[in-house]
Amino acid sequence: MAQAKIERLITLMNALLGAPRPVTAAELRRRVPGYPDEDASFKRAFERDKDELREMGVPLLVESVPGTDPPILGYRIRPRDYELRDPGLDAEELEALNLAAAVVASDGGMGQRALFKLGGVAAATAPVAEIPADPDLVAAFTGVAERRSLRFGYHGVERVVNPYRLEFLRGRWYLNGFDHVRGEERWYRMSRVEGGVALDTPPSAFERPVEAVPGLRLDPWVLGGHTDPVTAEVWFDPAVAAAVRAELGDAQVVSDDDSGLVVSLVVTNREGFRSWLLAFLDRAELRSPPELRAELVGWLEEVAAR
């Protein structure tokens, strides 16, 4: 199997695993890199990917997206259906796993801890090789597990953060927590941390939110943007309203009736917002603010003049 296809299948599984609601094919087309641009080619590639996941034993569910009428099909993988069950290893099989864990060890004893969960015992044999772990990730994991504040540089500013969770998405680690400098909850891409991550407090230095921290959304109008935020109001044709509402959630909705759906989005990445909006062609219209609309019209006129 080609490397690009393997990466696409892994990214597809990551998008579906534990999704709070069924994810439509249109959403997956935008979120998962590597699919063809042409509609028919995308459909064939997506059908092949679904077949391959099923052949590998991945329990892919097909369900209607809540709130869509007529129903729109979506896909997801429930963690409880996919997680490893107790394999029932006997003593000899556990010994073989123990020997394998002794041959190559990773920093922090992650392989040994996994072995313990299967009922194994510590190996008496010294490891032959050791795989280094990212010290920043180790510190971040420690901060999350022990509720210790972290100190690190990010975009030239020293941050002090109460870490709530780490999430691995599309090949990258992201940290979520309360930023004492900004005075709000934020996400950070770990590969962009500057100067290393330091544990800044003793354990149990803060309390996590009572409500579960929501998972990271890679919204193109936000991710990677550093411009001043601007609130955009966008109208969508009734033909795509249900799919858009399922993607964005009710919190973004201004109105939804026979004339169409109107949503409000806080934009910090204007290029990403433009690309996302134009994918809807004539079924979407940027209504406000005037300066963002003028910027979009000017960009389209430049493209048309080339």
**What confidence tens digit (pLDDT) does each residue in 104-124 have?**
454 445 555 655 555 555 445
pLDDT of residue 193: 93
DSSP string over the chain: --HHHHHHHHHHHHHHBT-SSPEEHHHHHHHSTT--SSHHHHHHHHHHHHHHHHHTT---EEEEPTT-SS--EEEEB-HHHHSPPP----HHHHHHHHHHHHHEEEGGGHHHHHHHHTT----SSPPSEEE---HHHHHHHHHHHHT--EEEEETTEEEEEEEEEEEEETTEEEEEEEETTTTEEEEEEGGGEEEEEEE-S-SS-S---SSPPPPP---TTTTT--SPPEEEEEEE-HHHHHHHHHHH-GGGEEEEETTEEEEEEEES-HHHHHHHHHTTGGGEEEEE-HHHHHHHHHHHHHHHH-
pLDDT of residue 210 exceeding 90, the answer is no
pLDDT of residue 222 exceeding 90, the answer is no
> Is 210 inside any structural domain?
no
When pLDDT is cut at 50, 70 and 90, the band that residue 272 belongs to is confident
Are 98 and 73 found together in one domain? no
pLDDT of residue 145: 86
Structure tokens at 176: 């979520």
> Is 193 inside any structural domain?
yes
pLDDT-wise least confident of 38-42, 98-102, 239-243 = 98-102
Report the CATH number that the domain containing residue 280 is assigned in CATH.
3.30.70
> Is 164 inside any structural domain?
yes
pLDDT of residue 123: 47
pLDDT of residue 157 exceeding 50, the answer is yes
Q: Domain total for the chain?
A: 4
Averaging pLDDT over each range in 21-25, 105-109, 219-223, 272-276, which range is the top one?
A: 21-25
Are 145 and 193 found together in one domain? yes
Q: Which domain holds residue 115?
A: 91-131
Are 121 and 144 found together in one domain? no
> Is 291 inside any structural domain?
yes
pLDDT of residue 22 exceeding 70, the answer is yes
pLDDT of residue 80 exceeding 70, the answer is yes
> Is 215 inside any structural domain?
no
> Is 222 inside any structural domain?
no
How high does pLDDT run on average in the chain? 83
Report the CATH number that the domain containing residue 39 is assigned in CATH.
1.10.10.10
pLDDT of residue 131: 52
The pLDDT of 195-204, averaged and rounded, is 92
pLDDT of residue 174: 87
> Is 213 inside any structural domain?
no
Structure tokens at 37: 């641009």
- CA-based angle 69:70:74, to the nearest 5? 90
pLDDT in tens, 89-108: 777 777 776 666 655 454 44
pLDDT of residue 102: 59
pLDDT of residue 93: 74
The pLDDT of 174-199, averaged and rounded, is 91
pLDDT of residue 215: 63
The number of angstroms, rounded, from the C-alpha of 86 to the middle of its chain's C-alpha atoms is 28
pLDDT of residue 148 exceeding 80, the answer is yes
When pLDDT is cut at 50, 70 and 90, the band that residue 128 belongs to is low
Residue 236 has φ and ψ, to the nearest 5°, of -125, 140
pLDDT-wise least confident of 69-83, 111-125, 263-277 = 111-125
The C-alpha atoms of residue 256 and residue 306 are separated, in whole angstroms, by 38
pLDDT of residue 112: 59
Are 17 and 74 found together in one domain? yes
> Is 211 inside any structural domain?
no
Are 126 and 140 found together in one domain? no
Are 237 and 251 found together in one domain? yes
Structure tokens at 38: 């042409």
Are 112 and 159 found together in one domain? no
When pLDDT is cut at 50, 70 and 90, the band that residue 50 belongs to is very high
